[in-house]
């Protein structure tokens, strides 16, 4: 992937940060994106530049349509055509809440940030990928999103992501003739510092909720993304991949006695 241009949204911290580092280590030039975490984004930019690749950091809110266009245009102007797009950013309300208790503003923000913004950013980069005859698009979902099950207290987020499942599969079919693959990764319940952790570090910990027995790490996710972005992964498209250690976020795991 040496010399490819990768744009990772929401990449100043967490899973996006780990993904940016992984793709930079593979030789990609990196476009970072942040909203509030400017200091973290510029610190990561310096770290990535130390790997011998180009890196820029751009402030843009993926739930705001004008900012999405500005982001795409700035990346194209400074780094060139986007070869790899990782749509990691997306608002999430961790508080468990009935749908009736959301405000209309919260509903729209969740839909815009997790579904519409992703679709629009895909739209902005597609023509450049088509012109090159090569591209990789990665969407983020949640465990078992492909099944479109009821998820009480997560109605808006779940609706946006399951809508994105259908879009992922459709876009994969439409863009396959142009050498563009489109896939979705669905992380398990990876929180806090674990999002930037290595697999080896996570193996030193225990997690009673995950059937595997250890928590997930950022590397668990980023290594799958790097695999999907490889030139020889072109036969893998339209897939919704659970990376969860067997955890089901909706239905609790019954531990063996």
pLDDT score for 209: 84
Backbone angles phi, psi at 187, to 5 degrees: -65, 155
253: pLDDT strictly greater than 80? no
Helix, strand, coil % over all residues of the chain, rounded to 5: 45, 15, 40
Task: State the Cα–Cα distance between residues 237 and 132, nearest whole angstrom.
Answer: 18
Instruction: Give the DSSP H/E element, type plus range, for residue 75.
Output: helix 65-78
255: pLDDT strictly greater than 70? no
48: pLDDT strictly greater than 90? yes
pLDDT score for 189: 85
% of the chain with per-residue pLDDT over 90? 82
Task: State the Cα–Cα distance between residues 86 and 84, nearest whole angstrom.
Answer: 7
pLDDT score for 104: 96
Q: What pLDDT band is residue 251 in, cutting at 50, 70 and 90?
A: confident
pLDDT score for 96: 93
Tokens encoding 103: 């405000």
- Chain segment 183-233, per-residue pLDDT in tens: 999 998 888 999 998 999 999 999 888 888 898 999 999 999 999 999 999
Residue 229 half-sphere exposure toward CB, CA atoms < 13 A: 31
235: pLDDT strictly greater than 90? yes
- Chain segment 52-61, per-residue pLDDT in tens: 999 999 999 9
CATH superfamily placement of domain 5-243? NAD(P)-binding Rossmann-like Domain (3.40.50.720)
Report whether 175 contacts 132 (CB < 8 A). no
Over the chain, what is the mean pLDDT? 94
The DSSP symbol for 114 reads I
- Chain segment 65-88, per-residue pLDDT in tens: 999 999 999 999 999 999 999 999
254: pLDDT strictly greater than 80? no
Return the SS3 of 208: coil
pTM of the model: 0.94
pLDDT score for 252: 66
Report whether 32 contacts 232 (CB < 8 A). no
pLDDT score for 136: 98
Backbone angles phi, psi at 52, to 5 degrees: 90, 20
250: pLDDT strictly greater than 80? no
56 forms bridges with which residues in the sheet?
Answer: 31
- Chain segment 152-176, per-residue pLDDT in tens: 999 999 999 999 999 999 999 999 9
Tokens encoding 256: 């063996």
Paired sense of beta strands 240-243 and 180-187, if any: parallel
């Amino acid at each position: 992937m040496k010399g490819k241009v990768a744009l990772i949204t929401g990449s100043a911290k967490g899973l996006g940060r780990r993904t940016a580092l992984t793709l930079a280590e593979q030789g990609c030039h990196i476009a970072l994106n942040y909203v509030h975490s400017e200091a973290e984004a510029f610190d990561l930019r310096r770290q990535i530049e130390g790997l011998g690749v180009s890196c820029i950091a751009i402030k843009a809110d993926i739930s705001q349509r004008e900012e999405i266009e500005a982001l795409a245009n700035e990346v194209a102007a400074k780094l060139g055509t986007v070869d790899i797009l990782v749509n990691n950013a997306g608002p999430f309300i961790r508080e468990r809440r009935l749908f009736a208790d959301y405000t209309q503003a919260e509903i729209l923000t969740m839909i815009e940030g997790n579904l519409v913004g992703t679709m629009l950013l895909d739209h902005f980069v597609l023509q450049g990928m088509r012109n090159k005859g090569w591209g990789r698009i990665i969407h983020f979902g949640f465990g078992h999103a492909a099944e479109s099950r009821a998820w009480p207290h997560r109605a808006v987020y779940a609706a946006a992501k399951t809508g994105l499942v259908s879009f992922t599969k459709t876009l994969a079919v439409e863009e396959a003739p142009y050498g563009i693959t489109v896939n979705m990764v669905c992380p398990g319940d990876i929180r806090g510092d674990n999002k930037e952790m290595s697999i080896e570090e996570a193996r030193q910990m225990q997690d009673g909720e995950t059937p595997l027995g250890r928590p997930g790490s950022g590397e668990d996710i980023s290594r799958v993304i790097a695999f999907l972005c490889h030139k020889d992964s072109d036969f893998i498209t339209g897939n919704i991949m659970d990376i969860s250690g067997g955890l089901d976020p909706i239905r609790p795991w019954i531990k063996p006695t």
